[in-house]
Amino acid sequence: MYNSSNLWNSSGKKADPVWAQVTDYCQSHMHPPSKPNHGTITAALKASDEADLPPIFAAPAQAKFLALQAKAIRASRFLEVGALGGVTALWLLTLNPALRVTTVEVDPHHAATARKNFAAAGKDVEQRAELCEGAGLDVLPRLLEEVKAGKREPFDAVFIDADKQNNWAYFDMSVQMTRPGGIVIVDNVVRGGRIVDPRMKDDPGVKGATEVIEKAGADPRVESTVVQLCDEKGFDGMVLSVVN
């Protein structure tokens, strides 16, 4: 089951124990077990762990940040690339009672686990979750075509958290299917600071991160920043872009 001592990050370095302590303190005030979605999230984490999914889901505070972004822009449609066990999607769905989440997952076992976790969250949540099983490079072009043809409403927000080498392709397509004022977020773009280490420049994860940072920064369709995160998962960060 999830707790902040399950340290995992995309940097290969252990998180500073103070970061986990800060998480525990802040979460105890911001999201105590009395919150209505606590049981759903805890059950989904437990099921993901029992199904041997890797513990690389967004940290609870980060997932809640995404859910609050969706709330702040009054999102009704959210696209996630990389469902894993559906835990982040469940944060989005449970904190936004009218939100629909379309989530893409390439791994059949991860997708099956996410489906089970959505079902266990109850009919109301399950009905608002659309799981598209397949590779992002296959599913996103289809979604984009549907949006362009008027068969699918544009998205209000996107969270890209999948195979890092395709970050830019996912970002580019996401921008095209997000409404003006909508947001596109890309996870894991700081990678323990390795993005500024010249020795790491050929690492596929680092390349996927720097490509999206550099291209998003020069992209006139969006205004962007990088939010650095240090928490129980280590030192990482996300691109946050708003579509013009």
Contacts to ligand DHB by CB under 6 A: 10, 56, 161, 187-188
Q: Binding Mg ion by CB under 5 A: which of 161, 211, 219, 232?
A: 161
Q: Which does 113 bind (CB under 5 to 8 A by kind): ligand DHB, Mg ion, none?
A: none
Name which position in 105, 156, 187, 231 contacts Mg ion (CB under 5 A).
187
- b/e sequence 14-42, b meaning 16+ C-beta within 10 Å: ebeeebbebbeeebeeebeeeeebeebbe
Minimum CB distance to ligand DHB smaller for 147 or for 162: 162
Q: Least distance (Å) from ligand DHB to the CB of residue 147?
A: 25
Phi and psi (nearest 5°) for 181?
Answer: 85, -10
12: left (phi over 0), alpha (psi -120 to 50) or beta: left
Site for Mg ion in 127-146 (CB under 5 A): none
Q: For Mg ion, give the closer residue by CB, 182 or 237.
A: 237
Q: At which residue do the structure tokens 């984490």 appear? A: 45
Nearest distance in Å: CB 161, ligand DHB: 5
The Cα 162–Cα 224 span in angstroms is 20
Of 133, 129, 132, 112, give the one whose Cα is nearest residue 121: 129
For position 188 contacting Mg ion by CB under 5 A, the verdict is yes
DSSP string, 134-164: S-HHHHHHHHHHHHHTTSSPPEEEEEE-S-G
Of 103 and 128, the one with the shorter C-beta distance to ligand DHB is 103
User: Contact, 86 vs 113, CB < 8 A?
Assistant: yes
Q: Which amino acid, one-letter code, is at 84?
A: L
Q: How far is the CB of 231 from Mg ion (least distance, A)?
A: 12
Nearer to ligand DHB, 103 or 188 (CB): 188
105 binds, among Mg ion, ligand DHB, none (CB under 5 to 8 A by kind): none
Segment contacting Mg ion by CB under 5 A, of 25-33, 146-154, 182-190, 204-212: 182-190
Output the smallest distance, CB 188 to Mg ion, in A: 4
Residue numbers of the site for Mg ion (CB under 5 A)?
A: 161, 187-188
